[in-house]
Amino acid sequence: MSELRFVFGVLNLPLCAPMQCGPFTLVPEPQGQVELSKSRSTDDESAVSAIGSMEIPPDLPEAERWSYALTEPLHSLLLLLSFAERRYIDFTSPELQIRRNGEWVFKAMHTHFPVNGIPYGVSWHYGHKHLHEIIEKCLPVLTDRDRIKNRTIRQALQHLRCNYLDGFVERQYLETWTAVEILIYGHLGERSIVEEKTFNKVRKEISRILKNLEDEEILTSSQRGLMKNKLRELNRPSIRTLASEFFATVFADHPAQVVNDMDISNFVAIRNEIAHQGVMSRSRQGDYEDVLSCEHMRLKALLERTLLVLLGIDANLLNFSWTNYLAGR
């Protein structure tokens, strides 16, 4: 069988030395690293700062090579790198190469357009060696298709990665909160306040009362219909309740990460305001942009600590409160 590999450029990744993780080899591109070190603005052009390669299983049918290369485990590597570096990292200019006479030569190209993201960031890992340990430990976990909860972690990481692409704080906040909800429901599953059989009796009784109110002309037919359509929601625990249970479970061994009900209520309220009104309530004290940016950074810090625990990463970030989101930077 012919030896094949998938080669790609890596945008925005600071790398001081070659790194090999699982099927991947990442080699820093000197000029790209220099350009990246000078980037201090989201307007700066993303630089190809490293060259990555991934071996293709020799027994993989030719028709499946591109789908394998562009999905798993490449996508998991992309998510983990963006997460660890706290910046939008992307892959560009992918091509398939084949070994002939001891040398790698071009075989095929796949159309792919990179999206420039934030080229700078403040990573939370200790450096090259620690980053290597993180990727080596987490990559097999995320690519294990037998573990259903990995899907929710991958989805949460994807939302966090997009967070580094969009400069609009309101959308960033919604992306971050969506990632939090994905983890909550993925961990706890679907919940009901009472079992379905009991709730059917409750719903039937409330429906009877609504009909009586319509007969007494206290409610119109349209109003009764609107209320009746929302009855099923009565049996769903609020996201505040689920979030409290989730964080208490996740951070059971990390007391510094305690999350109180006031913080959860505040995060949910801001999420609802942005989702339904497009902006955070102007009635909140302080400058709008400053308050929203601060609350978003606090929420993102909480999301990061949650992912660290779920991924089993023993990072210094777990030693002090997530509310101090500037610590360790």
Has residue 272 been placed in a domain? yes
Per-residue pLDDT of the chain (329 residues; tens, 9 = 90+): 568 888 999 999 999 999 999 889 999 999 999 988 887 665 566 789 999 998 887 788 877 776 776 666 888 899 999 999 998 898 888 888 888 888 998 887 654 444 556 677 778 888 899 999 999 999 988 888 777 678 899 999 999 998 888 778 899 999 999 999 999 999 998 888 888 888 888 888 889 998 899 889 898 999 988 888 888 888 888 999 999 999 999 999 999 999 999 999 999 999 999 998 888 876 565 667 678 888 999 999 999 999 999 999 988 889 889 987 765 44
Q: Secondary structure of the chain in the HEC alphabet?
A: CCCEEEEEEEECCCCCCCEEECCEEEEECHHHHHHHHHCCCCCCCCCEEEEEEEEECCCCCHHHHHHHHHCCCHHHHHHHHHHHHCCCCEEEEEEEEEEECCEEEEEEECCCCCCCCCCCCCCCCCCHHHHHHHHHHHHHHHCCCCCCHHHHHHHHHHHHHHHCCCCCHHHHHHHHHHHHHHHHHHHHCCCCCCCHHHHHHHHHHHHHHHHHHHHCCCCCHHHHHHHHHCHHHHHCCCHHHHHHHHHHHHCCCCHHHCCCHHHHHHHHHHHHHHHHHCCCCCCCCCCHHHHHHHHHHHHHHHHHHHHHHHHCCCCHHHHCCCCCCCCCC
Q: What is the pTM of this model?
A: 0.77
Has residue 276 been placed in a domain? yes
With a CB cutoff of 8 Å and minimum separation 6, the contacts of 216 are none
Are 174 and 312 in the same domain?
yes
Has residue 80 been placed in a domain? yes
What CA–CA distance (Å, rounded) separates 317 from 329?
Answer: 10
Are 262 and 218 in the same domain?
no
Has residue 155 been placed in a domain? no
Are 245 and 277 in the same domain?
yes
Are 34 and 106 in the same domain?
yes
Has residue 157 been placed in a domain? no
Are 210 and 311 in the same domain?
no
Are 75 and 129 in the same domain?
yes
Are 67 and 108 in the same domain?
yes
**Count of domains in the chain?**
3
Are 221 and 82 in the same domain?
no
Q: Could you say which of 235, 260, 290 is where a domain stops? A: 235
Are 231 and 242 in the same domain?
no
Are 231 and 245 in the same domain?
no
**By residue range, what is the domain housing residue 124?**
4-143
C-alpha pair distances (Å), 219 with each of 142, 211, 222, 238, 253: 53, 9, 8, 27, 51
Has residue 114 been placed in a domain? yes
pLDDT for res 113: 45
Has residue 328 been placed in a domain? no
Q: Take residue 210 and report the two structure tokens written for it.
A: 């609504």
Are 230 and 255 in the same domain?
no
Has residue 52 been placed in a domain? yes
Are 310 and 265 in the same domain?
yes
